[in-house]
Structure formats: C-alpha cells, structure tokens
Structure 1
Amino acid sequence: MLSTMKLKPILVVAAHPDDEALGCGGTIARWVDEGAEVHLAFMADGIGARTPGPEEERALHQRRDAANSAANILGATSVKFDDLPDNQLDSIPLLDIAQRVEALINRYQPETVLTHHAGDLNIDHRRVHQAVMTACRPQSGHPVKTLLCFEVMSSTEWQPACTSIPFEPHWYVDISTTLDRKLAALDAYSEEMRPWPHPRSIKAVDYRARWHGATIGCEAAEAFMLARQCQ
C-alpha cells in the first residue's frame, strides 16, 4: 500500500489533540519521510469537560500549542482545530460532525483516512469514528480508498471486549525509524501524559510499540484495523 499512496494526501481525523500522536504518530512521521502530505484534524477542543471556568481559554491555547509542536515534530503538512465540546460529542447530531469531516475531505482530497476505533471507551472517539465512516461512504468518485482505525492507550484497551467491538489489529506499520519522533511528539503533550504504569505514559507507549514490533518481527510498530480498502 505504501508504494502506491506515499504521494497521495493522507488525513488523520482525531477527537482530541494527542490522540494522533498516541494512535499513529510513528506512522505519520514515516509517511511524511516517504513523501506524503499528512493533514491533521481535531474535532473537539479536548479541554472543556475538565477545565471549566476562567482557565478554559488558557488551557485551550496551551493544548493547541502542544498540538502544533507535535505536528512539527512529526512533519504534518497542516493542522485544523474544530470547536466541538469535549466529552460531549454524543450531544451533537451525527450529521453535523459528518458534514465537518466531509468538508475536510473535500478540501484535502485524501486517498487514505486514519481515525479512531469504533469500540473505544471515550464517547468522542466513537462519535468521530461514526462521523468518518458516514463521510467516507463508498460512493462513485469518492477520493478515500483506504480507512484505517488506530488505538488510543487508556481508551481502546479500557473498553471491556464483552460490551463492544474489540480492537483486533491486522494491519501494521513498521515505525522502527520513527518511534523516537512519536515519543518526542508525546513529550510536547506533557500535561496529558501520566507516570508509569499508566497506559498513557511514555514508557507504556514505548513498550506497546515494541510489542507490536515484536508481533511482526521488527523493532517497533503501530497497529490498525482496516475498515475498508478499495483498489
């Protein structure tokens, strides 16, 4: 797949700033190295539900500064911030979210889109997944040919498999040469990271990437579920 898409635009649609670095930061950096334009889009502000009151504006700017720093580390072509309410995307009509994703697709004309797994614990992740699937309906002439779903530590693995769709990866990207940039991008989100042994710790993310790498016989990898591919 990489040889045919490396010069095609790629769009990452995430609920919150830091989801992209956790879920596919190494893949973003690798594909950028191979010549791809990678565009990042965040649908929710990522701070509203946890930081109400007068500090919200400061926290919002800080989170967006971190996202821009992480994007620079990974080499992303552009970053787009939407303003939907954090942890409240279930209060927004799905059509509204899907139309925002459609606007991104019309703007960037991506051949590949990466987004959240359908079974994440976080409601915003699930709603963004639904919106992306809706916006990427396989209609004649639609630019998106490949849809990949990534995991986000402390959300994907925290949803009990008995209550949702388990994350069972079958698509891997070797990030042996870009793991250091993934971890550096997460350092930019230092306020969102947690100490070991929390799954959202640098050490846990490093271990996870190396385990995925061992699964496919390389130093480090990121894992995905393929939602659709049209050739």
Structure 2
Amino acid sequence: MTHRTILVCAAHPDDEILGCGGTMARHVDRGDSVHVVFVADGIESRKAMNAERERLLTERREAAFKAANIIGCERPHFFDYPDQRLDTISLLDITQSIETLLAALQPDLVYTHHGDDLNADHRLVSEATMTAVRPMPGQKVVAVYGFETLSSTEWVFQSRGNAFRPNHFVGVASTLVRKLDALRAYDAEMRDFPHPRSYEAVAALTKLRGATVGLAAAEAFTVLREVEP
C-alpha cells in the first residue's frame, strides 16, 4: 500500500476535528502521514490582554496537541495570524505561508474549508489554500477537498449562491469515537445541544451524511479539485 502525505489547512484549532477528524483518523490507520496547520490563533478576537492572552493561547495550543495525539497525526503547525482578522492580512502573506509549508511537506492530498462559509476566516483560508495549490506544472497535490464546519458552514446566507453541497463522502464509522474523543480536547469551544457545535449535533451530522450514501457514518466534502496523473 502506498502511504500518502495529507495536509489539513484549518483556520482555527477545532476546525480540523469538526470538519474531518474521522477522515484524518482513517488516513492515519491506513499508514498515511497527516499534518495540520492552523492559520489563525483562535483567541485574538476575545480581546484578552497580556498574561490572559498568553494563557488562552497556550491552552488552545495544548488542546490542538492533545487532539492530534488522539487522532494519531503529526505535531500541528501554527501561523498565529489574528483570529477573525484575517481580512486585515494580505492574502499574499497567508498564501505564501501555506506555500512554504507545502514545499516542506510535499502533501498528496489537501483538506481545507468549504469556500463559502459564514465565518470570514474560513473563507479566506480556503481561498489562500486554493491559491497555494494552484495546478502549475510539478504540483504534487492531486486532490483538494472542502470540509464543512458546524456553526459556520450551515449558517451561510443561501443568497451567496455557493452553499455546501457535498459530492465526496468518507465512511467514518470505525473512527467516529476517536473524532469525538479528539473533539473533547476542545471542550471549552463546545456548546450544549441543540447548538450545532455540540457533541450530539456532530455525531448526528455524521449519521446524516452517512445515511445519504448508505453508510452508518460519514464525513462529507466538496471536491475542490481532483487530478489523475
């Protein structure tokens, strides 16, 4: 079996597990090397000052390390751009940061946010990722998939015209427990049901996505690009 290198480009720590934690675990179980990069720090928008900011940043990073360990992926990468302020950063700067990581890791597959989402950081990370993996000669990335992030993707205004309509599904019945265990590392970010970012809603979504394609549980994606060399 050929082992592949996978890169997940996420805006904030917890997006990766919400969007594709089960799929990441499945890749790991198949012998693939799974890497995650977080573009924004996930705490800047909370307006914490000095020592409090450092405490929150440390806690969020420790949660990301714990989640990665549960899934079995590599130690995460952090760009630490300001949370909910990616629109104040040059798209070129974000893109070039991703390009540098792509050059170092040489991934075969990339997962990132669906391109239309209520969260502006998610949209910008998707755009920067797609720019970084543009299909120039010699580009190693052969597939890019967009994931959904509960409490953001489903809230997008339908008038935007690019609502999440998945056309790629990955069975996660065997890795759902690990996805939920990893999500518990981010318990401070979770909410009580019926909030969509609750454990019950996350589990229910995998069952719904699975049922639409005849599986017990699945994560769903939009195919942003696939290339068969």
TM range (shorter): over 0.9
Tell me the equivalent position of 2:132: 135
Tell me the equivalent position of 1:17: 13
1:53 lines up with 2:44 in the alignment: no
Deviations along 1:46-96, whole A, 9 cap, x unmatched? Answer: 001014213111000000000000000111123101110000001111000
Tell me the equivalent position of 1:166: 163
Residues 9 and 109, structure 1, Cα contact 8 Å, conserved in 2: yes
Residues 13 and 40, structure 1, Cα contact 8 Å, conserved in 2: yes
Letter of the structure 2 residue corresponding to residue 25 of structure 1: G
TM-score of the superposed pair, with normalisation by structure 1:
0.96
Residues 43 and 81, structure 1, Cα contact 8 Å, conserved in 2: yes
| Mapping of residues 1-231 of structure 1, within 5 Å | 7-54=3-50, 55-231=52-228
Deviations along 1:170-224, whole A, 9 cap, x unmatched? Answer: 1000000000000001111000000000000000000000111111111110000
Inter-partner Cα distance in structure 1 for 2:131 and 2:207? 33
Letter of the structure 1 residue corresponding to residue 215 of structure 2: C
Deviations along 1:131-190, whole A, 9 cap, x unmatched? Answer: 001101100001111000000000000111112411000100000000000000111100
Letter of the structure 2 residue corresponding to residue 9 of structure 1: T
Cα RMSD of the aligned pairs, angstroms, is 1.0
TM-score of the superposed pair, with normalisation by structure 2:
0.97
Inter-partner Cα distance in structure 2 for 1:128 and 1:220? 27
Letter of the structure 2 residue corresponding to residue 11 of structure 1: L
Letter of the structure 1 residue corresponding to residue 7 of structure 2: L
Letter of the structure 1 residue corresponding to residue 108 of structure 2: E
Structure 2's unaligned 5+ residue stretches are none
Structure 1's unaligned 5+ residue stretches are none
Q: Secondary structure at the match of 2:141?
A: coil
Residues 38 and 78, structure 1, Cα contact 8 Å, conserved in 2: no
Q: Secondary structure at the match of 2:210?
A: helix
Letter of the structure 1 residue corresponding to residue 219 of structure 2: E
Which portions of structure 1, spanning 4 or more consecutive aligned residues, are displaced by more than 4 angstroms? none
Fraction of identical pairs, as percent: 51
Inter-partner Cα distance in structure 1 for 2:181 and 2:47? 25
